[in-house]
Amino acid sequence: MGIHLGQVVAGILTLTMFVMLGQMIKRDHFDSLQDKLPGEAQDVQVDNANVIEKDGLVKPSKGSKGPWMKDSQELKPCWSRTTFDGIEQSRGYVTFSLTNGPEYHVSQMADAVVVARYLEAALVLPDIRGSRPGDERNFEDIYDVEKFMKSLNGVVKVVKELPNEISIRDLAAVKVPNRVTEDHIVENVQPIFKSKGNIRLATYFPTVNMRKTTQKSSVDSVSCLGMFGTLELQAEVSEVVDSMIERLRTLSHKSDGLFIAVDLRVDVLENKNCHGSGTNVAKSCYNAQEIALFLRKVGFDTDTTIYLTQSKWDNSLSVLKDIFPKTYTKENIMPEEKKGKFLEFEGSELEKVIDFYICSKSDVFVPALSGLFYANVAGKRIALGKPQILVPADIPGTSAAVMNYLAPYVAKKNHLAYSCFC
């Protein structure tokens, strides 16, 4: 029996459909892979989906070489200081530390402010502790103390240190989940605070999903203020970040000063399984070669300037530099006189802060790694009106529309930031 031509065509179309579906599944599940955050088993959420331009959210930038997109208007905070009731005399103290980099700092600060506000306690200015021994700093080494205290004026009382009569040994240790709720505070924190009078708070991360929820809470405005309205870089750190961004823009003269920031760290890639074991197995990260091919296929020219969060150059990055010669790490573009302090050892809190803020202010951000860095950089960019976040994927063929890889945090407006900004 012969095979009808219509049957052959139908078979080809069906096969093509399954190939396309497989690629969509890979991208859709880039946000749902297991990851390890310090001390906890994590359910990591890194948004991705196949999307198109709509509602004027992101528009191509005319006159530039490549698929660059225009910035949106910077958003305004939805919360207002007039919505906060005045604070009473503090009834004790809440202490905490900022740890493991700025992507954690913003979440830790939000939780601490919410807890202190609810308990009507004074918030003690935190110290900053890195992930490696000896990397301990004062708050003012990285952030602006006066602006921080001013931001919480009338909302939470802030003190620079505990009174001498209170010993650190007398503080009750309390752990709260990221995005702590009012119910959790009532059930698990308030009884300890009433009993002990003072607590030391630590945030753990059962998930790094930063999607907004439909459930409203009385602590939402306080949480928004804590996450987006409290932490600003102190002058020297801000100047270093600005000088590096200016250097990248100077190097990008062929693309009108536009550049891409890619969160790609070799040490993290080596500790993660970046390669799926089957056709539809999701990937948690992409290596240098995969990022290079992704950027070329969505239309970026080989003259494009790329900033990598990798601390120092690694030979595995050469494949990316072969395709995009203007690929740089911190050591290439940091002012020489600042390297001794800011690059004192690899992976320091100062390095992480530089990466976080450059990725927040770049023209395009590409998260090659799943995790909280991506989620909280996305929040910062949304607030700044910089929605150009491209989540990588394996692209069949030689080209693809860049809008298909816009992060759903932006395309679907489902990031927590959209609950905080209007």
- pLDDT per residue, tens digit, the chain (422 aa), is 455 545 544 554 444 444 444 444 344 434 444 333 433 333 333 444 444 344 444 555 544 567 998 888 788 888 776 556 666 666 899 999 999 999 999 999 999 999 999 999 999 999 999 877 778 899 999 999 999 999 999 899 999 999 988 988 889 999 999 999 999 999 999 999 999 989 999 999 988 888 988 777 768 899 999 999 999 999 999 999 999 999 999 999 888 999 999 999 988 777 666 654 444 455 778 999 999 999 999 999 999 999 999 988 889 899 999 999 999 999 999 999 999 999 887 778 999 999 999 999 999 999 999 889 999 999 999 999 999 999 999 888 888 899 899 998 999 999 999 999 98
**Cα–Cα distance, 75 to 382 (Å, whole number):** 8
Do both 183 and 165 map to the same domain?
yes
- For residue 134 the two structure tokens come to 């000896």
Do both 190 and 130 map to the same domain?
yes
Domain limit, last residue, from 227, 246, 268: 227
Q: What phi and psi values does residue 211 have, to the nearest 5 degrees?
A: -75, 145
Do both 220 and 289 map to the same domain?
no
In a domain, 16, yes or no: no
**Cα–Cα distance, 192 to 187 (Å, whole number):** 9
In a domain, 69, yes or no: no
CA-based nearest residue to 264, from 213, 324, 191: 324
Model pLDDT, residue 23:
45
Model pLDDT, residue 303:
94
Domain limit, last residue, from 186, 211, 227: 227
In a domain, 11, yes or no: no
Do both 220 and 237 map to the same domain?
no
Model pLDDT, residue 287:
92
Residues spanned by the domain of 183: 91-227
Domain limit, last residue, from 199, 227, 255: 227
Domain count of the chain? Answer: 2
Find the helix packing angle between 220-228 and 102-119, rounded to 10°.
140
The pTM (predicted TM-score) of the whole model is 0.84
In a domain, 212, yes or no: yes
In a domain, 172, yes or no: yes
In a domain, 394, yes or no: yes
In a domain, 49, yes or no: no
Model pLDDT, residue 187:
96
Model pLDDT, residue 29:
39
Model pLDDT, residue 407:
93
CA-based nearest residue to 364, from 26, 16, 71, 35: 71
Do both 111 and 205 map to the same domain?
yes
Do both 208 and 350 map to the same domain?
no
Do both 130 and 188 map to the same domain?
yes
Do both 242 and 331 map to the same domain?
yes
Do both 287 and 369 map to the same domain?
yes
In a domain, 128, yes or no: yes
Model pLDDT, residue 88:
64
